[in-house]
């Protein structure tokens, strides 16, 4: 096998560094439009198949000018598939039924990655909820793929993978996303098994070559690479990367392949396979999931967990387990956060209120500067509330409690502040003192604007909620009227808990 590979790979052309590619709207360009030498554009909207010597010559179907979508009566559209039942989501079944999918997709693409955690939770609920699909959708999958792409943009790979598997990923567009997701979550063997069983869904020839090698058919992988090179269906950069992956010994002592720009999940997996794992810190959030593997360094695991926990894509307990895994090896940055958490954790476990009071301010400061105060509150609000702390530490514990799920009980046991009044749903108890507090009070006492109310009344509540997310995109620096309007809409929609948590995060983070 190695001998045959050697003969094939010796034909590998020299590869010069390619200019940076433009930013793409999707995590991967696995099947982004590409113009082969014959001028035909190959992308996910055509079903043209490339020659594959392992399966024979498949038929070629030319793209048509018009796509007609049909659906048998009684079938469930993928737009309607979700992971959260209507009873749990708190959203009406027709929350998006009156919206244009293109408008929803645009709003989803504009949602900020650094949104307030309460609004991020609401967005994830909207993305994962079982809802009646838009009635006027020309493309029955448009909203479904917009939801999947948004989940992946925020690094919520497990949720995206589960949603794809529930809806079915047997067509090229869905399989492409499932394949990319599987590459980053470590389930590439399963994805390759599915591709082997149904070769027509292979997103690209490089993906097919990778899967042939993953299933142990190295000669077929090498032959397919040679065929793709001869037909001009593999770029020089893909050729070099695949060659290194198929026979790394041949390139021992030579510089590694130049990572593609933008990075794709397949390229990431190939580079990882030859020991040249790319640094994920400059890559989209979805790639951070790969750093959670035990094979990654401890620092890389913590940094990836922080990025994902910051946008609610990772449970806080996972972050805590990493912080406390071992003793910090240095100081500064992530090490200071780990040390602060370990000191507080040790004091709580020992049941020493004085030690907790000493460790708490440092832990809060370190987590606040890294944008992780809300996950911190989810972890520590309850044990802090159950401990009799010295007076000078009670204000810190109250702040953490107000940022947790127990905000209302914290507001009752620590009254007197405007934040405590908001936590109790009684903004009139304490007069506002700042412009931000006034905007929040207006949101709890005034109705939402007519425009947002009309959207909600026309079965477009989801659309209105996404617009509210944009009004709050700058957090406490958002326009005061926008803050008031967004909070008023949340309350009018029956999302009182989200409104209070959002207001408290505006005030306290």
DSSP string, 207-232: HHHHHHHHTT-HHHHHHHHHHHHHTT
Q: Write down the pLDDT at residue 391.
A: 93
Q: Write down the pLDDT at residue 340.
A: 98
pLDDT along the chain (509 residues), means of 10: 43 38 40 32 32 34 33 64 93 96 96 96 97 87 95 95 93 93 93 90 92 93 94 93 93 90 94 94 94 93 96 95 93 95 97 97 97 98 96 96 98 96 97 98 97 96 98 98 98 98 98
Tell me if residue 350 falls in helix, strand or coil: helix
Query: What are the backbone dihedrals phi and psi of residue 382, each rounded to the nearest 5 degrees, phi first?
Result: -65, -50
The CA distance from 475 to 459, in Å, is 27
The CA distance from 479 to 500, in Å, is 18
Query: What are the backbone dihedrals phi and psi of residue 12, each rounded to the nearest 5 degrees, phi first?
Result: -70, 125
Q: Write down the pLDDT at residue 203.
A: 86
Q: What is 96-145 written as a DSSP string?
A: TTTS-HHHHHHHHHTS-TT--HHHHHHHHHHHHB--PPPTT-SSTTHHHH
Q: Write down the pLDDT at residue 155.
A: 95
Q: Write down the pLDDT at residue 75.
A: 53
Distance of CA 123 to the CA centre of its chain: 11
Q: Does domain 97-280 correspond to CATH entry 1.25.40?
A: yes
Token couple for 208: 């097919």
Q: Write down the pLDDT at residue 76.
A: 67
Domain definitions of the chain by residue range: 97-280
The CA distance from 247 to 331, in Å, is 41
The CA distance from 5 to 486, in Å, is 61
Query: What are the backbone dihedrals phi and psi of residue 180, each rounded to the nearest 5 degrees, phi first?
Result: -60, -45
Q: Write down the pLDDT at residue 139.
A: 84
With left for phi above 0 and alpha for psi between -120 and 50, is residue 6 left, alpha or beta? alpha
Instruction: Kindly report the length of the chain.
Output: 509
């Amino acid at each position: 096998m190695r001998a045959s590979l050697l003969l094939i790979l010796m034909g590998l052309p020299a590869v010069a560094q390619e200019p940076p590619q433009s930013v793409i709207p999707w995590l991967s360009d696995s099947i982004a439009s590409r113009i082969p030498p014959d001028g035909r554009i190959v992308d996910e909207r055509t079903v043209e198949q490339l020659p594959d010597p392992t399966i024979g010559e498949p038929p070629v179907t030319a793209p048509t000018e018009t796509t007609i979508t049909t659906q048998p009566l009684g079938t469930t559209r993928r737009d309607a598939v979700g992971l959260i039942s209507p009873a749990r989501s708190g959203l009406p079944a027709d929350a998006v039924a009156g919206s244009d999918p293109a408008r929803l997709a645009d709003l989803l693409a504009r949602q900020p990655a650094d949104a307030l955690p309460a609004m991020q939770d609401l967005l994830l609920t909207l993305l994962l909820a079982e809802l009646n699909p838009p009635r006027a959708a020309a493309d029955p999958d448009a909203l479904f793929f917009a939801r999947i792409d948004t989940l992946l943009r925020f690094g919520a790979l497990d949720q995206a993978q589960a949603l794809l598997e529930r809806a079915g990923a047997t067509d090229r567009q869905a399989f492409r996303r499932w394949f990319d997701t599987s590459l980053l979550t470590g389930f590439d063997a399963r994805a390759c098994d599915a591709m082997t069983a149904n070769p027509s869904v292979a997103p690209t020839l490089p993906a097919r070559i990778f899967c042939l090698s993953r299933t142990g058919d190295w000669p077929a992988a090498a032959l397919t690479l040679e065929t793709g090179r001869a037909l001009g269906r593999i770029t020089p950069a893909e050729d070099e990367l695949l060659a290194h992956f198929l026979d790394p010994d041949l390139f021992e002592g030579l510089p590694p392949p130049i990572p593609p720009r933008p990075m794709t999940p397949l390229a990431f997996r190939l580079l990882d396979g030859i020991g040249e794992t790319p640094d994920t810190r400059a890559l989209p959030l979805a790639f951070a999931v790969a750093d959670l593997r035990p094979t990654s360094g401890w620092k890389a695991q913590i940094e990836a967990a922080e990025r994902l926990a910051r946008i609610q894509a990772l449970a806080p307990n996972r972050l805590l387990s990493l912080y406390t895994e071992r003793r910090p090896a240095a100081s500064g940055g992530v090490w200071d956060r780990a040390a602060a958490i370990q000191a507080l954790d040790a004091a709580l476990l020992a049941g020493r209120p004085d030690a907790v009071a000493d460790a708490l301010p440092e832990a809060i400061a370190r987590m606040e500067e890294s944008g992780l105060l809300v996950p911190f509150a989810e972890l520590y609000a309850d044990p802090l509330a159950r401990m009799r702390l010295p007076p000078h530490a009670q204000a810190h514990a109250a702040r953490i409690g107000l940022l947790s799920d127990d905000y209302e009980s914290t507001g009752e046991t620590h009254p007197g502040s405007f934040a405590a009044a908001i936590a109790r749903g009684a903004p009139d108890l304490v007069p506002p003192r700042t412009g931000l507090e006034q905007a929040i009070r207006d949101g709890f006492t005034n109705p939402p604007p007519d425009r947002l109310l009309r959207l909600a009344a026309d079965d477009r509540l989801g659309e209105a909620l996404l617009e509210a997310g944009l009004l709050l995109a700058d957090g406490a620096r958002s326009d005061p009227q926008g803050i008031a309007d967004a909070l008023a809409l949340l309350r009018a929609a029956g999302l009182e808990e989200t409104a209070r948590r959002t207001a408290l995060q505006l005030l306290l983070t």
